[in-house]
Structure 1
């Protein structure tokens, strides 16, 4: 249910938690909420069916089977916002003429209006009795039209959010709608193989355009309003003269249904996209000849021109849930790819949260680092990192510097004092192999890096000079951590041993070894009070920093654990590994308090946001997930979402008692 109906899963989990707040119920509630698309920093995770540009061309909106619409920065290709709240496929998106409002429609029978400045829901419009497929604003911005499988086109007053009219001709489903440039006429695409033109004010059909041999799937007016383009499941697109209502051209060549049609701003070019044949085709509207083909961006499902006519966008389907579909910007003149839109990069490998809890950095397997605004779920900027995978990320204690280590043997430092415009400050070289981990000293003056060359190196963060090499390790060093007082450095080796170094003398104080098991020491973390050192390997071991004796061994993960982090208050330890779970442990009783599932893959990074109950994870599925760990906060948010988006009216399998009553 979580994949198909995440909203229903959240309500069911909340109901179970309300009945009995057991560890299992708490785990289910936290897990289902974290898997809600609005809590993931990533691109779409399912097929994308619609795309449109904002009036100024700076932003693009997409609609997906993953129940979300997403906003993208067309200059950087970065994700701006995720609009989550629909309980089924989002089938259409449309900007208001002033760009301040985005309308989305979905198979959940609703239309939603969103503020594009705050990315908050303004209204949910209900009335359709079946899925809503298409949406369009009238050019004056006062009226919204929606098209539905219930056979109706509904007109809505944008200011009052009230239904103004219902336009119906019979039982045929309505696939798409479009207003003429003067706003007087509405074109609608029907499943009975016809397109119809409506007089918007008189609420009557003025013409029926017949000629397609299968469902009409798309409609678009030319900029001068004299021509209508239609697409159809019969694999063709047509141009219609709106004075004679006759076909002036039929475009053939697609191998599947034409799902999308769009005119260039000057009206000279028509773009068509067909589901499953992998192309968008360009046609000269005067000569009716093909002028180009856009291919190599997946199974293109929709196409749109930018308002300046120089750029185009295509979106695609993959047919595979959880696989990010291609979202591509093109040069409309050369027909070459210009930019790929990404929510995150390739398989995400590392994560860090700034000390103020406002910024998250995630690294990927191709050496890119993505900086996110946590509150707005907005991609601030991508950074170019090492050659090869980013192996770790860490912020300095004051948040002014971000350090990233890489498989290429370098450590990169970025100046984060201006979060919107981070700058690379230095590249530290010296390790003869990959750099596996890094840690800042509590005062921020020293950076420690751990390398596969069996050494740990210390760097002055102001001069960027190497100040010491701690060698003598019998194997690659994979983890490093400073004690809270800054006097001790812990290093973990791939031979399973942990060494504690006195940083004044730069000598080993003691070596902590497991009982004959050869397990890598993947991650080390001191408790906030400095009394305990936690280490992940085959399992999780807690060591006393006073006696250097083992305090406890935490068992429960079914595969090797590789990541851990203490909560800011030290009361909870979060651990993760290859079994695709995150487990939360009470640090006093050493007992599990929750098991979080639905991580999307092997957990490659784990970080708490300071001063909160928020945990961030990175995974092999490219997504960055945000986990709110306070169940009462989650319960309140689920109820807020349910009320705002009217989930009780739209969620399937919602016959149980409302847990929010």
Structure 2
């Protein structure tokens, strides 16, 4: 078995706080998910999580104007400089204080980052090797309270800061001018954001109480009754430069939103169209046109406050994030449609299950929702909200077309994944709470174990009737599993035993398998001859079904031991008493077993030797409890940990706890608690190429490292159009085609593609690296619509499918849009040829008929 699994993606969580960003092309959204960054491609409908991890949750992000450099800052002020296209970390930096805002200048030469009451301007790092990528340019002083935001002028010479001291200040990075920082005051609440207009003749500022001010410049010359020529100068190229340093700012107009008690939480400005987008604490957002303050659009997207707003480069798409709901939305305001609408589970994920083909994942959470995720795109495509309490187990059946879920609300529900509806609901005669679920391989029988009556209920899926009640356990049923043959059911219980049940037999034989402590999870080996049971003491016991004896034992407590909570009195080495596996799963071939539990580790064992193969760390996020091995004593005080106290909000609205229904005043003494790192469920994919774990951070996907394919042309530096044509002239068709894909120039691609002789197509297709298959098939699908060389394209498609069929089958989720385009192109060509053939056939018949008529006329004339 291969153990080189790498972190692949993070599902189940789409937004946890901080700001979201659009890429410069406007087609992708970057969203912070805990201490990681997820990237959502809105055009190709895919998502991925960047492979790096920060020390704590991300607080702020900024992207350079050209989209290559990403700066992420966590809650401690530690930053990472990332090359976004290559997805590698270039540099680590510690700003030592929490940053409320960070912004690159439009020309990409500087970036500004707030530090409490000051703003530091740094020279932006370049793409070359530098001794110090971050160089401090100067520090802007003057505010008397924390700076909330910073924004640059369009010419990158000035920047404006907004603060909690209810003022805005204008600074410059141009040291050649004699500039005195201007202060704009007049708001009655702290300012959320402030911006320059596109012509730099207006400034717009918005405060938390819902007031939007327009500031107009008035020149010194006008005040002294002179001409206003000093305000505008002309540079060497003849362009006008607005001299912000030569003006004073006056309030031109005051505008107020029609809400007195609802606060503005976030606002952004799109200078090209003079649009202001404001998000409110009640989940409402509005789009307003300035300076006329015309309301263009308002919409309520949630019941919780909007934490972030972002506008793409064209101003058509708006991104909103709500951390309380874990919700991320992208709204196209002109057509009033959702481009993206994703939401993770509100609470913990309790269970996870793979479909038979490994293309879908189902999760059930404490929020009572069942979500189904596409493993290829990373998006949730359906959510079922019929349950009224936490969902403890989910299982697929019928080749992934039916999904079953068991909940604490006393129901087991069956969902149709073709029509997306709840078509069957199974209940018990008396109200119970279901904690476990199992479906036989045929999908005809479903079983569920209970928390309170210690019984197992058996239903028929076809009729929905209760067939049997299996009694015998004296403790809650923690886990159920059907054998692969479907003839036997195994159950694990808190009564220190696992039992095998002959569900379909006449004898109803029951075999108890006694353990020393409570059984938390059971799993059947794929051959159906062995059972694995995980117990509360951290052990995993392997049982032979035929003989009912123990064939192996794994002492896993020492393997998953690790991590110290903030209030632990003992060290992590001695705190192994509560460490155990609560979910186990065999691989498809049965040679290995994976287990997860109340620890930051996930372990994979070899079944034959009972040895630990590999141990994975779920997360290194210090914002979670239990990720550290050693605690720092300097953070401990008699009132508790300083880290806990620092998490409290500075404003009254951030400290009030309104979590209880019906409360209005809230509890001011509330203390935030850090979630504990753990994993409640783990499952292997049926293909064995990946596995998924339901963790505190979300649904983490680990897969074999196959996406990073070696490309020999990565080592080449002299790939130019001339060398491509030269390689084509030397009849090195494979090399020239790969080099053309690297350059990605359409005229050059057409030349090389059509320059490959038909008798060499099969040979070139066999040698084509897997990295270029997606580009090749996409190009063929697009080129097929305009080119007359029909047989040539069909020959390419046939050769590629024949040579790389297995790879395309294993990655069919990734290649689905390409297959659709090819199918569409081939069908169009077929229809065109069929229409042409029919037309030619009718034309030939007409001509033959005309010939026959002419012959008859000639014969008649001769007579």
Verify same fold: TM over 0.5. Answer: yes
Query: Aligned partners of 1:602 and 1:102: how far apart in 2?
Result: 35
Structure 2 residue matching 1:442: 3-state secondary structure: coil
Structure 1 match to 2:483: 483
What CA distance in whole angstroms lies between the structure 2 residues aligned with 1:314 and 1:372? 20
Confirm or deny: 8 A CA contact 2:591 2:608 kept in the other structure: yes
Summarize the Cα distance change of 1:96–1:466 in structure 2 as closer, same or farther, 3 Å threshold: farther
In the alignment, what sits opposite 1:564? Answer: 584
Structure 1 residues 154, 264: CA separation in 2 closer, same or farther (over 3 Å shift)?
closer
Q: 2:521 aligns with which of 520, 523, 526?
A: 523
Residue 530 of structure 2: aligned partner: 532
Match of 1:364 in 2: 365
**What per-residue deviation string (whole Å, max 9, x for no partner) do you get for residues 59-90 of structure 1?**
865457724255499xxxx9955455586857
1:209-256 CA-partner distances (Å, limit 9, x unpaired): 62159x9995534588752235899x99864326755232699999xx
Distance 1:90 1:469 in 2: 54
Whole-angstrom CA distance in 2 between matches of 1:587 and 1:492: 20
Corresponding residue for residue 416 of structure 1: 417
- Is the alpha carbon distance of 1:473 and 1:390 closer, same or farther for their aligned partners in structure 2, counting shifts above 3 Å? same
Match of 2:514, SS state, is coil
| Structure 2 match to 1:134 | 103
* Selected match of 2:687 from 606, 611, 619: 611
Alpha-carbon distance in 1 for matches of 2:319, 2:525: 52
Give the Cα separation in 2 of the matches to 1:471 and 1:483.
Answer: 17
Q: Which residue of 2 aligns with 1:541?
A: 541
Mark the CA change 1:377 to 1:506 in structure 2 (over 3 Å): closer, same or farther. farther
State the alpha-carbon separation in 1 of the partners of residues 32 and 505 from structure 2: 59
C-alpha deviation, 1:480, in angstroms:
2.1
Q: Distance in 1 between matches of 2:63 and 2:429?
A: 52
Q: Higher relative CO (CA 8 A, sep ≥ 6), structure 1 or 2?
A: 1
Asked if the contact 2:30–2:37 (Cα under 8 Å) also holds between the matched residues in 1, the reply is: no
Q: Deviations over 1:555-586 (max 9, x none)?
A: 22253432211111111112233345433221
How many angstroms does 1:637 deviate by? 6.0
Matches within 5 A, 1:286-365: 302-303=308-309, 313=320, 342-365=343-366
Alpha-carbon deviations, 1:113-159, whole Å to 9, x = none? 66xxxxxx69999999999932477xxxxx76762457367699xxx
Alignment check: 8 A CA contact 2:454 2:471 kept: yes
Aligned to 1:594: 614
State the SS of the aligned residue for 1:522. strand
Report the equivalent of 2:13: 42
Q: 1:570, 1:438 → 2: CA distance? A: 21
Q: Encode CA deviations 1:618-650: one digit per residue, 9 max, x unaligned.
A: 13x25222234x6xx39x96999xx9xxxxxxx
1:169 to partner: Cα distance: 12
Corresponding residue SS for 2:519 = coil
> CA 1:251–1:186 in structure 2 vs 1: closer, same or farther (change >3 Å)?
farther
Shift of 1:309: 10
Give the Å deviation of 1:351. Answer: 0.7
Counterpart pick for 1:262 among 262, 268, 284: 268
**Alignment partner, residue 182 of structure 2:** 210
Structure 1 unmatched ranges of 5 or more: 1-25, 115-120, 138-142, 162-167, 317-322, 333-338, 644-661
Write the mapping of 1:23-38 to structure 2, written as runs, cut at 5 A. Answer: 34=7, 38=9
Change in CA separation of 1:85 and 1:593 when aligned onto 2, cut-off 3 Å: closer
Deviation of 1:412 (Å): 1.5
TM-aligned CA deviation for residue 550 of structure 1: 1.9
Please name the residue that 1:248 is paired with: 251
Contact 1:370/1:383, CA 8 A, preserved across alignment: yes
Distance 1:396 1:64 in 2: 31
Aligned partner of 1:656 in structure 2 is: none
**CA drift at 1:535:** 1.6
Q: 1:65 to 1:494 in 2, by over 3 A?
A: closer
Q: In the TM superposition, what whole-angstrom CA distance separates every residue of 1:443-470 from its partner, at most 9, and x where no partner exists?
A: 3333233334443333343x24336214
The unaligned stretches of length 5 or more in structure 2 are 74-78, 114-119, 129-134, 142-148, 220-246, 334-339, 558-576, 620-675, 715-863
CA 1:44–1:286: 2 relative to 1, 3 Å: closer
Find the aligned partners of 1:531 and 1:127 in 2 and give their Cα distance. 52
Distance 1:270 1:393, change over 3 A: closer
Distance in 1 between the 2:94 and 2:466 partners?
70
**Aligned partners of 1:398, 1:341: CA distance in 2, in Å?**
26
Shift of 1:592: 2.4
RMSD: 5.8
Is 2:169–2:184's contact at 8 Å kept on the other side of the alignment?
yes
Residue 227 of structure 1, aligned match among 202, 209, 212: 202
State the shift of 1:341 in Å. 6.3
Per the alignment, do residues 109 and 478 of structure 1 end up closer, same or farther by CA in structure 2, a change over 3 Å counting? closer
Query: 2:240 corresponds to which residue?
Result: none
Matched, 1:466 2:450: no
Correspondence list, 1:155-234, <5 A: 171-172=138-139, 176-177=150-151, 188-189=159-160, 194-195=169-170, 210-212=182-184, 219-222=194-197, 227-229=202-204
Aligned 8 A contact 1:349 1:364 in 2: yes
CA distance in 1, matches of 2:14, 2:65: 24
How much has 1:388 moved relative to structure 2?
Answer: 0.7
Structure of higher CA gyration radius: 2
Partner of 2:111: 147
- CA separation of 1:639/1:298 partners in 2, compared to 1, >3 Å: closer, same or farther? farther
CA distance 1:431–1:616, shift in 2 (3 Å): farther
Task: Kindly state the Cα deviation for residue 477 of structure 1 after the two structures are TM-superposed.
Answer: 3.5
TM-score, normalization: structure 1?
0.64
How many pairs were matched up? Answer: 550
| Inter-CA distance 469–145: structure 2 relative to 1 (3 Å threshold) | farther
Equivalent position of 1:456 in the other structure: 456
Distance 1:111 1:216 in 2: 31
Query: Could you tell me how far 1:616 is from its partner in structure 2?
Result: 1.4
Structure number with higher helix proportion: 2
Deviation for aligned residue 1:393: 0.8
Partner of 1:653: none
Separation of aligned partners in 1, 2:322 and 2:104: 18
1:547 is displaced (CA, Å) by: 0.8
CA distance, structure 2, for counterparts of residue 502 and residue 247 of structure 1: 85
1:349 and 1:365 in contact (8 A); partners too: yes
Structure 2: how far apart are the matches of 1:225 and 1:145? 20
